[in-house]
Structures are given as C-alpha cells and as structure tokens.
Structure 1
C-alpha cells in the first residue's frame, strides 16, 4: 500500500500553483493522518513546516517553490511516488533557546538552523560567553553572535564566516558577527551537548535581541542554548542530493 501523502504550501503564487497541480494528481489526507508530508515553498517554509509538525513522527519531503531551497528537492510534478520510494532520510535535532528579558520574563523557542543574538541599537553589543558553566570569553564586542547546527551552518552562520559542519557531526558552531574585540576571534566548534550561555554586558546602554529561526525577542539579558536530542526532524531527499552532498558542494562554489 503506497504511503499516505499530505500537502502543505506557502502563500507564494508558485507554491500555490504547485499545490493545486499535485492535489489533482495525487490522493491526499490531512497532515495528522499522513505517512509523508510534502512541503512546497522555500527554506523558510520548510522550517515553518518542521516546527509545526514536530509533534508527529512524520518525515517531510520538500520541493522548492521558493528561492534558495537548500532544504528542498527540485520541483517536479511527475513521478513523485517513485522519488519518495527512493528518497534518503536526514535526521536533525533542534536547539532550545531560553532567553531572559530585562524585566525577568523568559521566552523559549526551538531553532533548527541557529540561535542568534544581535545588537538592537547603534552601539555594538558586549557579550560574555559561558560554556558548560565555565566562562570562556569575558567580553565579546560585536554586532552579534550565534550558535548553529550542522543543518544551519550554511545559512546565516556561513554568511558570518563560520564553518560548514557535516550533517551527522556531533558539534555546533559558535560564530561571532562582525567582532571588534577580540579582533582575531573567529568563533569555536563545540561538542553537540554543550550548554552555551550568553550574558549581555551593559544591556541598558547596549540592548540586544535574540532570534531562534525568525522567532525574535528583544531586550534580553541572558540567553541559554542547548541541543535537544529528544526532538528529531526527519527530512527526505532525492538520492545523491541529500544534505551531506549539499554541504560539501557549498564549500567548492
């Protein structure tokens, strides 16, 4: 019996057109009843889909109807079931962000790509970095900093000159954004189970915001980040076009 499919699409016209076409060609079911979820859109929509369906043990196969499409397969209406039968799976663990605001309230969110801290105003941020309870950097003067998963290492992390991490590697990238002091500090590669804490130095004069996959919170004074092993996002890719191959390819362009 073929797997039951559910279709989800972004609001973009190309994605909606693809949704209508696939809905005519293939029998579908609601997301909660599906064996495989088909996501139509770009990388942003894929992240939304993974977050929205994380309570399900259902793999997601994306087809690019957006721009970059790093987390997506190529668009093709024909032969979908054959592609699904041959697809390879990648499993991603998200990061949990716990951000404490200046008023004492706490904001929690999960990030599949990265958790980032960014200055809110004209002045550079000053951040103290603690890893597993040990202070590693007394003061980082910068525009921001982030902790990235291997899946997210080719996104904002790579733009900030952070390292590309192989999928399946048990490490995280800690990368500064436009570091002013220490001038030559390029970041660190940490074990996946590391507990990273950023403390904002002088938050009133140098306010900082935090972001977890586009879920943002302002005026933070402390942000704690750790990988979550008990949540596993399953992505399906066409053979030879999985995340491992894409990560390698990105380093030769």
Structure 2
C-alpha cells in the first residue's frame, strides 16, 4: 500500500503522510484489521484555497491553486485512501479524474474508489470518471443518490450503470443525502474501506464539517493567491463549524499546508 520507508526522506509529501496517519492505515489491506459492517472509515477532508479563503471562482469556476509540490501531497493522500468523495457539482464544473499519479498513474489496484454524491442523478455520462472506468484506468465510480420513487430516475440510473458506473441508493427521501447514515450504512462498508478522502466541493465540505463525528483530519492547502468576493468559500452563513486543533504546518513550494483535527462542543 503506502510505499517503502526508504523513499520517505526524499519525498516530503510521503514523510508528512507517514507522520500524521495511524499506523494501521499505512499497511496493505491484507495486513489490516478487518472492518466491521457499519464501522466508520477514517475520514480526511482536504481542499486548496486562496489567501482570502476561496476554493473556486465565480459560479463555481475551477481554480488551479495548488503548486506542483503541494499537488504531490494530494496524490499521496489519494494513494493512501481506499475511497475518495466529491459532490456532483465538482464533477460537472471540474470533470476531475480523482486518480493517484505519483508522478505517473498508479496501477488500478492502488487507485481509490471514486464516490460521487448525486442526490438527483445529474452525473454527466461524458465525465472522465466514467470514461476512465471503461478504459480500466480507475475504478468504477459509485454514484450515491436518494432512494428512487417508482418510475423516477430509472433511465438515468440505468444509463450511469451502462456508462461504467455503479449506483448506490441512500435510505432516505429527504432534500439531500444523510451523510451520517451513508457513512455508517453496513452496505457501504465495502465501498468506503478503511479510509475516505473528501475533496469537495464547497457544499460537501461544509456538510461534512458541520456533522459532528464524521471528519478525523482536515488538511488545507493555502496558496498565495487572492480571488475576490465573487469566489466560492467553504463557510456558509448559519452553518456551525468545529474548532480546529492544530497538528502540523508545512510549506510545500509556494503553498502552506495546515493539518488540523476538528473539535466539536
């Protein structure tokens, strides 16, 4: 799983990962303690932001904030985690691949499972997540939607499956997807694995942070860039966020990376 110790000294990103994560996450799955159904995975929430706290431009436009050095850390984190989660808005706006490339594409067995929160099944069938799965570059993405009513979204669900994805139906009819129920659902345990990496977008990040007990580690890359008032922030009015307990600060090239643990009242 997570690479030879001999490489750590020459790779600051690998060294940081080894320092801040529990030992049981750094060993192959075959050597790890089996997870019980419904057991919460170790959740890392990570994103890059500007100096003025923006993670995207006007209307959610993608911003290239991370430098090469801090992007290497992102790929080390992807390599470490069993699954990686984004919202469907990120798929629509950014069309990410969510693969681990250090610097080249890692074998399929070492790639995280992509998970997309998509309550109303808006997943573009032309997305790289689906095309990469068909090519065998990445694992088939798990598209998490709300429970389907009779006749509702059936064609979209079938189309996603035929395009290379898998549809997972959450157990609620609410406005969104209940994150706590999903993370602790015994049926989701095999997909989530030991560790889940949450990359965005803003609503997903805010929702995870606002739900006590879900996030174990917060890793934020701050780039020396100013975006302005029209940019998108992870903070929302009326949303209670936790206090962050500082664990580590490290400079990667032009960027500063902050590692924190969320603390709830």
TM band (smaller chain):
under 0.3
Q: Decide which structure has greater strand share.
A: 1
Q: Decide which structure has greater helix share.
A: 2
**TM-score normalised by L of structure 2:** 0.22
**TM-score normalised by L of structure 1:** 0.22
Larger Rg: 1
